Amino acid sequence: MNKLISERLAVNSILIILSAMVLFHIAILTGLVPFDIVWGGRLKDAAQMRRFETISILTNAVMMAVVAIRGGYLPVRIPARIITIALWLMVALFVLNTLGNLASVNRWERFIFTPLTGVLALLCLRLAIRKEARSYQTAP
């Protein structure tokens, strides 16, 4: 996989996709996009939507920070092992999210977000399998 997708391509692709997802969740929070097309179409009311969308935005922001640290864009001294563990958790989260999207009652979620989260799982896997050569994360 390391030869198919460069680390830089994986980092940049993840950051672009997650940024777009944050904008999408903001559009849901502001009412520009109806909330019945997310969370499997199971949200009951606006209060529940606000809670879930806020969690989504925060989760995406944390994942963006992890990827930005791995990519050397965010110069934070965190042990590389912690970043690697976070990336493996992201792989698991995106795999589970892909399965959840497949089970969604909303066709948009099934046909758009299923492949998107599948791609994110693969890109995060690419970053997670890198051999750790240094104790602190720096630019690759």
pLDDT over threshold 90, residue 115: yes
Q: What is the pLDDT of residue 132?
A: 58
Q: Which residue segment(s) compose the domain that 70 sits in?
A: 7-128
pLDDT score at 107:
83
Residues 53-77 have pLDDT tens digits of 999 999 999 999 999 999 999 989 8
- How many other CB atoms are found less than 10 A from the CB of residue 68? 18
More confident residue, 45 or 120: 120
Q: Is residue 113 part of a domain?
A: yes
Q: For residue range 31-56, list pLDDT tens digits in order.
A: 998 888 787 677 888 899 999 999 99
**What DSSP letter does each residue of the chain carry, written as one string?**
-TTTS-HHHHHHHHHHHHHHHHHHHHHHHTTSS-GGGSGGGT--SHHHHHHHHHHHHHHHHHHHHHHHHHTTSS----BHHHHHHHHHHHHHHHHHHHHHHHT-SSHHIIIIIHHHHHHHHHHHHHHHTS---SSB----
Residue 136 placed within a domain:
no
pLDDT of 97 strictly over 50: yes
Q: Classify residue 139: in a domain, yes or no.
A: no
The tally of domains found in the chain comes to 1
What is the pTM for the complete model shown?
0.86
